Amino acid sequence: MPVKNRFAELQAEITAWRRDLHENPEILFETHRTSALVEEKLKEFGCDEVVSGIGRTGVVGVIKGKSDTAGKVIGLRADMDALPIPEETGAEYASNHAGNMHACGHDGHTAMLLGAAKYLAETRNFRGRVALIFQPAEEAIGGARIMVEEGIMERFGISEVYALHNAPGQPEGKFLTTPGPLMAAVDTFHIHIKGQGGHAAMPHETRDPVMAACGIAQAIQTIVSRNHYALDDLVVSVTQIHTGSADNVIPDTAYINGTVRTFDKGVQAMVIRRMQAIVDGHAASYDVEAELDYEVGYPATVNDPDKTTFAAEVAREVAGENRVLAEAGREMGAEDFSYMLEARPGAYLFLGQGDSAGLHHPDYDFNDEVAPVGASFFARLVEKAQPLRQGAEMEQA
Ligand code: NI
């Protein structure tokens, strides 16, 4: 039976899993119920190997093809974690974990990969093996990094990796990707300023951290406007400034926080160097102490050009020629699948989910209509990457 027809049959089941996950969102590494459900399903489908507790709460399932001796191992990844956002969708299956919700559609990603797993375990029309990677903590910390550090690529012999992310605002079921750099590296900076507070009527007796914070926040913007080559991608955003408590008090301290997005490690190094110089220089000129704490986060997500071309071909088979944009261009969001793509070549694709609230919004809800498309993509990718030798499929049919 063609891949797409089988997934049309599985849609009700995939939707039920997705809504169950949506109702029970778990954040970061706390995906205990989710991981247990994934493990149970993978065993029920007849996966040849199911390993839990990788990357704390990550799960990997392995399915052997009908001819598993000659082929390689393809890794397919879904993220499982939710966000600390109170849900406002009003859905029947809305979160029953107060304060947390699946606002990024990772419930849908997990359900789609489970759907693909069920089909692949049933049919096994491929050579080699497929490793189904279910990871926690995509939204922060980087569950993917920890799973890579714990050696999943070597342990399961994975040679290439693929992942999907839903995309609100893009046509339902349309695939978008791009070869090469796709999503940015994300860093976080914290600047702690310590001056000398006092009465606001006598500023000459203080060393004002508020003015220093304003000066630093302004000067940081010149890293983008004055220090870097205009055609390189760079975002530096100051997102928080906290200080003070009253109109007549100059506070002791101020705090600045923000994010940096880059694609190039040279640009990233320049930002760190310039930010340090700005902080040190302003500390001297405003007569305060200032400390920069710069956290390097997820690296850029870089698609392998050949694997991306291949994945786009698979997407065309599943969705149709006109529903694949293979050169969509890059964006400044970030994704910890980048660690898997640093370890192995592969591709990351977006899957349009029609008009809906945006990702990380309290009204967001994954569109169940696109789940069969995503599950078909994963399944077809494995069959197309490692087709059974001619005749073998017939023999087994
Ligand atoms: Ni996400």
Distance 105 CA to ligand 1 centre (A): 6
Distance 138 CA to ligand 1 centre (A): 7
- Residue pair 118/63 in contact (Cβ under 8 Å)? The answer is no
Q: Classify strands 49-54 and 346-352 as parallel, antiparallel or unpaired.
A: unpaired
Distance 335 CA to ligand 1 centre (A): 7
Q: 380: buried, middle or exposed (CB in 10 Å: 19+, 13-18, 0-12)?
A: buried
Distance 357 CA to ligand 1 centre (A): 14
Give residue 67's pLDDT: 82
- Residue pair 85/101 in contact (Cβ under 8 Å)? The answer is yes
Rg of the Cα atoms in the chain = 24
Distance 165 CA to ligand 1 centre (A): 7
Distance 365 CA to ligand 1 centre (A): 12
Express each pLDDT in 201-226 by its tens digit.
Answer: 999 999 999 999 999 999 999 999 99
Distance 77 CA to ligand 1 centre (A): 12
Annotate 67-102 with DSSP letters as a single string: B-SS--EEEEEEE--BBS-------TT--SSTT-B-
Give residue 389's pLDDT: 76
Q: Classify strands 129-135 and 58-64 as parallel, antiparallel or unpaired.
A: antiparallel
Distance 164 CA to ligand 1 centre (A): 10
> What is the rounded CA–CA span in Å between residue 397 and residue 393?
6
Distance 106 CA to ligand 1 centre (A): 6
Give residue 396's pLDDT: 43
Beta strands in 319-372 (DSSP E): 324-325, 346-352
Distance 104 CA to ligand 1 centre (A): 5
Distance 202 CA to ligand 1 centre (A): 50
Give residue 395's pLDDT: 41
Distance 78 CA to ligand 1 centre (A): 10
Distance 10 CA to ligand 1 centre (A): 24
Give residue 104's pLDDT: 97
Q: Which residues surround ligand 1, an ion (CB under 5 A)?
A: 104
> Per-residue confidence of the chain (397 residues) as pLDDT tens digits?
567 788 889 999 999 999 999 999 999 999 999 999 999 999 999 999 999 999 999 999 999 999 867 789 999 999 999 999 999 999 999 999 989 999 999 999 999 999 999 999 999 999 999 999 999 999 999 999 999 999 999 999 999 999 999 999 999 999 999 999 999 999 999 999 999 999 999 999 999 999 999 999 999 999 999 999 998 899 999 999 999 999 999 999 999 999 999 999 999 999 999 999 999 999 999 999 999 999 999 999 999 999 999 999 999 999 999 999 999 999 988 999 999 999 999 999 999 999 999 999 999 999 999 999 999 999 999 999 999 976 544 444 3
SS3 48: coil
Give residue 2's pLDDT: 65
Distance 266 CA to ligand 1 centre (A): 27
